[in-house]
Amino acid sequence: MVTITLKNLRKTFGEVVATDDVNMVLEDGKLSTLLGPSGCGKTTLLRLIAGFYEPDHGEIYFDDRNVTDIPPNKRNTGMCFQSYALWPHMTVFDNISYGLKIKRVQGMKYTPSAIDKRVNNALELVQMSGLGERTPHQLSGGQQQRVALARALVIEPDVLLLDEPLSNLDAKLRVEMREEILRIQGELGITTVYVTHDQIEALSISDMVAVMDVGYIQQYAPPREIYDSPQTLFVADFIGKCTFLDGEISALGDTLSVRLPDGQIVKGMTPLLGYPFQLNELVRCAVRPEDLHSVATSLEDNMISGVVNQVVFVGSNIEVNFNVGEVSATSLLPSDAELEPGSLIKLYAPLSQMMVLPIGGIDALRKIPGHPLYASTES
Ligand X SMILES: Nc1ncnc2c1ncn2[C@@H]1O[C@H](COP(=O)(O)OP(=O)(O)OP(=O)(O)O)[C@@H](O)[C@H]1O
* Positive or negative torsion for Cα 268, 272, 278, 282: negative
Pick between residue 39 and residue 240 the one whose CB is nearest to ligand X.
39
What does the CA dihedral 9, 14, 15, 17 come to, rounded to 10 degrees? Answer: -20
Q: What share of the chain is helix, strand, coil (3-state, %, to 5)?
A: 25, 35, 40
Asked if 77 touches another protein (CB under 8 A), the answer is yes
- The distance of closest approach from Cβ of residue 349 to another protein in the complex, given in angstroms and rounded to an integer, is 48
Q: What CA–CA distance (Å, rounded) separates 9 from 365? A: 17
Phi and psi at residue 332, in whole multiples of 5°?
Answer: -110, 115
Calculate helix-pair angle for 112-125, 141-154, nearest 10 degrees: 130
Q: What CA–CA distance (Å, rounded) separates 230 from 292? A: 18
Residues within window 191-250 making contact with ligand X, judged by CB under 6 A:
197
Residue from 42, 75, 267, 284 touching ligand X (CB under 6 A): that is 42
Centre a 10 Å sphere on the Cβ of residue 98 and count the other Cβ atoms it contains: 17
Q: What CA–CA distance (Å, rounded) separates 267 from 259? A: 9
Asked if 16 touches ligand X (CB under 6 A), the answer is yes
* Residue 138's binding partner out of Mg ion, another protein, ligand X, none, with CB under 5 to 8 Å set by partner kind: another protein
Residue from 32, 33, 43, 185 touching ligand X (CB under 6 A): that is 43
Pick between residue 38 and residue 73 the one whose CB is nearest to another protein.
73
Asked if 342 touches another protein (CB under 8 A), the answer is no
Pairing of strands 108-109, 355-358: unpaired
Q: What CA–CA distance (Å, rounded) separates 330 from 336? A: 17
Pick between residue 55 and residue 271 the one whose CB is nearest to another protein.
55
* Residue 40's binding partner out of ligand X, another protein, Mg ion, none, with CB under 5 to 8 Å set by partner kind: ligand X
Closest C-alpha among 29, 62, 25 to residue 188: 29
- The distance of closest approach from Cβ of residue 66 to another protein in the complex, given in angstroms and rounded to an integer, is 19
User: What amino acid is encoded at 96 in this protein?
Assistant: I
CB burial class (10 A; 0-12, 13-18, 19+) of residue 28? middle
CA distances from 245 to 4, 27, 134, 274 (A): 39, 37, 56, 22
Contacting residues toward Mg ion, per CB under 5 A: 43, 82
Asked if 217 touches another protein (CB under 8 A), the answer is no
Asked if 85 touches another protein (CB under 8 A), the answer is yes
Asked if 111 touches ligand X (CB under 6 A), the answer is no
Pairing of strands 265-268, 317-324: unpaired
x/- letters, 295..314, toward another protein (CB under 8 A): --------------------
Asked if 71 touches another protein (CB under 8 A), the answer is yes
Pick between residue 44 and residue 243 the one whose CB is nearest to ligand X.
44
- The distance of closest approach from Cβ of residue 157 to another protein in the complex, given in angstroms and rounded to an integer, is 8
x/- letters, 28..67, toward another protein (CB under 8 A): ----------------------xxx---------------
Asked if 96 touches ligand X (CB under 6 A), the answer is no
Binding stretches for another protein (CB under 8 A): 50-52, 71-73, 76-79, 81, 83, 85-89, 98-99, 102-103, 135, 137-138, 151-152, 155
Binding stretches for ligand X (CB under 6 A): 13, 16, 18, 36, 38-44, 82, 197
